[in-house]
């Protein structure tokens, strides 16, 4: 009887250690995320299953071009996925389809042809040392910093690293390299 109890205890210990390891990975290292909506099309589509890196931003700062998952500034129980366009301390202006950072137009090669001319409006912000300006790749269907303002760093959950679903589109993601900004002055 003692041997059976010892075996059961060992199995329970292994199960508990495995459960703790899985929970630690899920809640502190990697978080699954399912895209809901069209705000990041064509980069990500509704139903894409992503893995979010929750560790990198503990050691380094988010960069322009990173695609991040974050808590909504208006409702912390809602999560969004957007691309970082403006960094802390920068002046960001969006005038119709043109994004200007500190007076220089930035290139956005990841946007599909023609999408830059679809949104019309104007907004500008001076970001504090803890704020980011984020936008969806699908500018017509994205509720982002243009509407609710800058994103606080504390609300960023993590960096999109991997798309697992659909299998045909599975891939690793790296930051977008922005071309040198051009001056708006003639």
Catalytic annotation, residues:
39, 82
Give the position of tokens 């956005």.
108
The CB density around residue 146, as the number of other CB atoms within 10 Å, is: 22
Half-sphere exposure of 17 (CA within 13 A, CB side): 6
47 touches 165 (CB < 8 A): yes
Total Cβ atoms within 10 A of residue 60 = 9
Radius of gyration of the chain (CA): 21
**Residues 140, 152, 32: CA angle, nearest 5 degrees:** 70
């Amino acid at each position: 009887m003692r041997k059976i109890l010892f075996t059961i205890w060992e199995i329970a210990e292994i199960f508990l250690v495995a459960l703790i390891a899985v929970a630690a990975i899920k809640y502190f290292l990697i978080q699954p995320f399912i895209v809901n909506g069209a705000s990041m099309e064509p980069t990500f589509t509704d139903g894409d299953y992503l893995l979010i890196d929750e560790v990198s931003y503990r050691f380094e700062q988010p960069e322009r071009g990173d695609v991040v998952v974050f808590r909504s500034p208006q409702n912390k129980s809602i999560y969004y996925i957007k691309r970082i366009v403006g960094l802390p301390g920068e002046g960001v202006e969006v005038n119709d389809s043109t994004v200007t950072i500190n007076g220089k137009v930035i290139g956005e090669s990841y946007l599909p042809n023609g999408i830059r001319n679809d949104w019309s409006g104007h907004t500008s912000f001076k970001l504090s040392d803890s704020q980011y300006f984020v936008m969806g790749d699908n500018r017509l269907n994205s509720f982002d910093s243009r509407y609710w303002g800058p994103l606080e760093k504390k609300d960023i959950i993590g960096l999109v690293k991997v798309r697992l679903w659909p299998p045909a589109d599975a891939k690793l993601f790296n930051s977008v390299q922005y071309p040198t900004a051009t001056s708006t002055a003639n």
